[in-house]
Amino acid sequence: MKKTVLLQGVVIFIVSFFAGCTVEPASDPENSLEIQVSSLRGKIIDLTYAFDAETIFWPTAAGFEITTDFEGITDAGYYYSAYSFSTAEHGGTHLDAPIHFAEGALTNDQLPLDHLIGPAITVDVSDRAADDRDYLIGVSDFESWETAHGQMPDGIIVLLRTGYGAFWPDREKYMGTAELGAEAVEKLHFPGLDPEAAKWLVQERKIHAIGLDTPSIDRGQSSLYESHQILFKANIPAFENVANLDQLPESGFTVIALPMKIRDGSGGPLRIVAVLPGVRSVDRR
């Protein structure tokens, strides 16, 4: 059930720089940002699926597991709970770091924060993808967006809406097959980015990151994962299994996409949200 609540305290402080702020890389070796805080009027949309037993992973990966370390009343008489979990880097809403498909490229913990936080756009191809599970998002789709909105600015985060988020967490409808194991990979069917469009984004535009509402930036029937290779050689990370893209406008909003900071990681679980201009509020599902 969706609820809208007012933002308070530290949440407002964290996101308040998104309207009329200045964000500059700092000299801090831990990759911090120097932020000038200004007023915010925005609605926060959660673009992240919760991790649980239904979370979708690649057919060859182990899923998310959680175990109870303790839950209940302690001997001292107070309630206490603690859990342990295990997960692959690449499953659920997650980040692909460039090192995932490009030797020597940036790892999870090396990604600049100002490439994961910033202005974003949505390119909606859901009508075309609805008729073709193997749809390739092409240069013409980006050109159509630019015809309506103007050339995408440098440093933008691009989100691709295929409409397949509506199928989550039905593995068969979302991925094309519910089977597991190496043999299932060739049965995957879902839209992805055309390698020629990936080249265009790298050579003709200067985007900071890209994401979409399917399990992979390459379509399910890809065997060489060329869009991964092209983007990641240019150190452009990808966000996969992004939720709630149907709630976003085509432009004029900001994304915060912060993964679990895994040293030398090829990816990791991602908490991603969008900040839309408007009344200070947050939507939760």
| pLDDT tens digits along 225-277 | 999 999 999 999 999 999 999 999 999 999 999 999 999 999 999 999 999 98
Q: Is residue 8 part of a domain?
A: no
Here the CATH number for the domain that contains residue 140 is 3.50.30.50
| Distance of alpha carbon 99 from alpha carbon 268, whole angstroms | 12
Q: Count up the domains in the chain and report the number.
A: 1
Q: Is residue 13 part of a domain?
A: no
| Distance of alpha carbon 58 from alpha carbon 61, whole angstroms | 5
Q: Is residue 15 part of a domain?
A: no
Mean pLDDT confidence for 121-128? 98
Q: Is residue 122 part of a domain?
A: yes
| pLDDT tens digits along 201-224 | 999 999 999 999 999 999 999 999
> Domain range spanning residue 123?
45-63+90-284
Q: Is residue 21 part of a domain?
A: no
Query: In 76-208, at which residue ranges do the beta strands (DSSP E only) sit?
Result: 79-86, 94-96, 117-124, 136-137, 157-161, 192-193
Eight-state DSSP code of residue 220: T
Yes or no: say if 194 and 138 are a contact pair by the CB < 8 Å rule: yes
Q: Is residue 124 part of a domain?
A: yes
Res. 279: pLDDT tops 60 = no
**C-alpha angle 9/11/13, rounded to 5°?**
75
| Distance of alpha carbon 111 from alpha carbon 113, whole angstroms | 6
Q: Is residue 38 part of a domain?
A: no
Q: Is residue 236 part of a domain?
A: yes
Q: Which of these, 46, 54, 45, 57, lies nearest to 92 by C-alpha position?
A: 57
Sign of the torsion angle spanned by Cα atoms 85, 86, 91, 95:
positive
| pLDDT tens digits along 146-168 | 999 999 999 999 999 999 999 99
Yes or no: say if 217 and 192 are a contact pair by the CB < 8 Å rule: yes
Res. 38: pLDDT tops 50 = no
